[in-house]
Amino acid sequence: MSHADLTMQGEPAGLLAGPPFAIPTKKLAMWLFIIADTMTFAACLIAYGFLRNGTANWPRPFHSITNVALMTLILLTSSLTMLLGVRAAKIGDKAGAFRWTMITAAAGILFALLHIREWLGLIGEGMTLLKNPWGTGLFGTAFFSITGLHLTHVTCGVIALIVVGLRYQGGRYNADDIEVLSLYWHFVDIVWMFVVPFVYLLNLAH
């Protein structure tokens, strides 16, 4: 193969090729991250399912669905406000995009506070990572691991929303950056759609 075959007008041919699947590189990177993170959460949930299925005295400590229903409503609504932020950014409404992004971050903070309140309630009832008053100690390990991992994602998402929102307002980031971040936020919402039924609703005290 000659050098001429490898280059085109002085540029290596590989550098002229567009990004894979003809989508922006940042967006592709976020999608790949989301796919990898899906595997992480799936592994956690499957391990949880394995333990729950294989353990006879699995606890059912949840008496009320009010808190988890409220958390679900907040997270789902935050996905809608995130969409509105992306929409505003795409049509050049900078103030609107910043406002909706900050509203989304505020919803994330509210979700995290409700989550922490719930954790404190369970800890107050005697639940720790290794033991609880209702049954196998594995429950605390599984519950705190899965919900903690999700809460970490929400916290990181809130920080990212604030940072990206401020930088977008300052002109350093553009609408594409808001859109890429929105993918992450929707993913956090989707994970919650699986955490709620399997970790909370299947463990309701009837």
Partner 1 sequence: MTTAEVKKAGIGKDLIVYLCLLAFAGLQFVIAYQNIDAWQMFARMLAVALVEAGLAVMFFMHLWTEKRGFVLFVLIFTGFVLLTMQYGWTDSFRLLRCGTNCS
Say whether residue 91 binds partner 1 (CB under 8 A): yes
Comparing CB distances to partner 1, the nearer of 12 and 19 is: 19
Contact criterion met (CB below 8 Å) for 193 and 150? no
DSSP 64: -
Comparing CB distances to partner 1, the nearer of 7 and 27 is: 27
The number of helices, as runs of H, and strands, as runs of E, in the chain is 7, 2
Amino acid type, 166: L
Say whether residue 84 binds partner 1 (CB under 8 A): yes
CB of 4 to partner 1, least distance (A): 30
Helix (H, G, I), strand (E, B) or coil at 170: coil
Identified binder of partner 1 from the candidate list 55, 136, 141, 169, rule CB under 8 A: 55
Query: What mask, x for binding partner 1 by CB under 8 A, covers residues 123 to 162?
Result: ----------------------------------------
CB of 6 to partner 1, least distance (A): 26
CB proximity list for 101: less than 8 A, separation 6 or greater: 82, 85, 161, 164, 165, 168, 178
Best CA proximity match to 106, nearest among 84, 83, 75 = 75
Contact criterion met (CB below 8 Å) for 174 and 22? no
Q: Provide φ and ψ at 199, rounded to 5°.
A: -95, -35
Comparing CB distances to partner 1, the nearer of 90 and 131 is: 90
Say whether residue 111 binds partner 1 (CB under 8 A): no
CA atoms of 166 and 130, how far apart (whole Å):
41
Say whether residue 179 binds partner 1 (CB under 8 A): yes
Say whether residue 116 binds partner 1 (CB under 8 A): no
Comparing CB distances to partner 1, the nearer of 3 and 206 is: 206
CB of 119 to partner 1, least distance (A): 21
Say whether residue 50 binds partner 1 (CB under 8 A): yes
**CA 3 to chain centroid:** 47
CA atoms of 110 and 49, how far apart (whole Å):
29
Q: What residues line the site for partner 1 (CB under 8 A)?
A: 21-23, 31, 35, 38-39, 42-43, 46, 49-51, 53-56, 65, 69, 72-73, 76-77, 79-80, 83-84, 86-87, 90-92, 175, 179, 182-183, 186-187, 189-190, 193-194, 196-198, 201-202, 204, 206
